[in-house]
A and B are shown apart, each in its own frame.
Chain A
Amino acid sequence: MKRFDDTTELLLQLGDSAMIQAQRLCELVGGAPALEEEVALMNVGLDLVGQARNWLEYAAERIGDGRTADDLVFLRDQGEYRNLLIVEQPNGDFAMTMAKQFLFDAWHYPLLEKLCSSSDEKIAGIAAKSLKESSYHIRRSSEWIKRLGDGTSESHERMQSALDKIWHFTFELAKPCELFKTLDSSGIAPGVNDLCSDWHAIISKTLTEATLMQPEAADNNYLSGAKGLHTESLGFILAEMQFLQRAYPNACW
């Protein structure tokens, strides 16, 4: 696994997480529980594709080996992907889809907020633009957590069970990582070392309002999205997402 400089690693983590989350959301096209909900899910997905493009274009520029953002998305194998493990997990039922979205948003939103004051102007610019979209994403996903958690007994049960199942993958969101420590002190991502406490605060507040039980802190795991050590789910996503470029190299519209 090739490792790039810290800033590029951060860009890949942001871009890949947005891209894979978007791909998962777009799998739901034609299959969402209500027409209104489907349009909403796709809007979030498309917002994230746009963000992924911005982050990965900058990453490609820094990598500087001639690859474009498209090349990074369509021609890297899973060991080179840096997305969070939680976003590659299958959609499951609607409770699971929203649980994943919310746990991701609670990480994504405060991260973007901090990146707005990055010493790197490009990062600050992309973050400021993305933050507007993500503040809507977290508003919508936390609403659903509350509605389903504090809804009927069946919706409560299903939301709780989704949380319990997916919680395993929150260790990446809930604990400070090495990369963030160095990026914090270098000013590229000021304050990012406190991201975990922001995440915990958002999660606790929303789960309490939703009358849901917060599972015990997830243990560290030998897997790590940031290091390119993924679950088998990512392979299936890439197989579908990259099929066309692999089968017909350089095919375009």
Chain B
Amino acid sequence: MISATRIKRQSAIRLFAQEYSESNLTEQGIGEYDPSFVITKLGIKVNRALFCGVIDRLEKREGDNGPSFNGQLRDPTGVNRFNVASFQPELQVEMEELFARFESGDRFLMAIVGKSRWFEGDEGGIFTSFRVEEFAVINQESYMNWLIETSDATLRRLNFYELSLGVDINKESLISSGLPPDLIDGTLLARQHYSNADTENYRLGILKALSSASGRSVEDSDDSIQDKEDIVENIANNQTDVNPADIILDTIRNHDTGTGVEYDKLVESCTLSGISRESAEDCIEDLRDVQGDIIEPRFGFFRLLDQ
């Protein structure tokens, strides 16, 4: 069927930072007005999103054409980056006000509607972000509402993602298996590109969100308290030493109980020592692929090679 349908407004996807930041598949529109998308592992094509969280970072840059702002919102699963460009004068006045509040040490909850954008590292790594369209400071009740709605939307995607695992990866099979129209194209692309998504990890994020929203607290297990103490110890030990490779090797050495140490933990140890996420990630890759000091026997878990 040959058809020409007009491009309609893209809906604002509800998703947590974790799902968005783990995405590295993108689709650039070909025509001038074609939308561009970030496609998540759970198979939703994101051109526009509604995301919320506590302001975690806000920086202002003075450019030739006026100021621009970069920031991060933190939700229970991670951070989303956002940007207000100098060519968006309609947002500048209120951003300035927020920037002043942030600089004075104030922190607050925000809701942002933004369009997907991304940067690429030299070796194909994708860093996802949003260009702000509209924003507001919100209260805790609104935030909780968003947590609940976004949990619902993410669980819906998880449900259909898991359904799609038993289905051939082609459009007809996905349609007849009952996948809703908004997930078909994205699922097709995601299943061809990503290895299987760690659905348990997404569920954990949702549980954190839902328990925050319903007023129940997630109990800290003894295990994680122990972890934090270790991290503190690490900081103490490595304060003068900022070589990421040493930190990564030390972290694995101190924490590996036989099952390996999680990727996020390695990155966290590095960032706590003032090393950027990018260089931490590069270093992990270098140690694994080039130096051969560490191995990744199971997805996302690292061990020392000589152990």
A and B from one assembly? no
Which residues of B are at the interface with A, using a C-beta cutoff of 8 A?
none
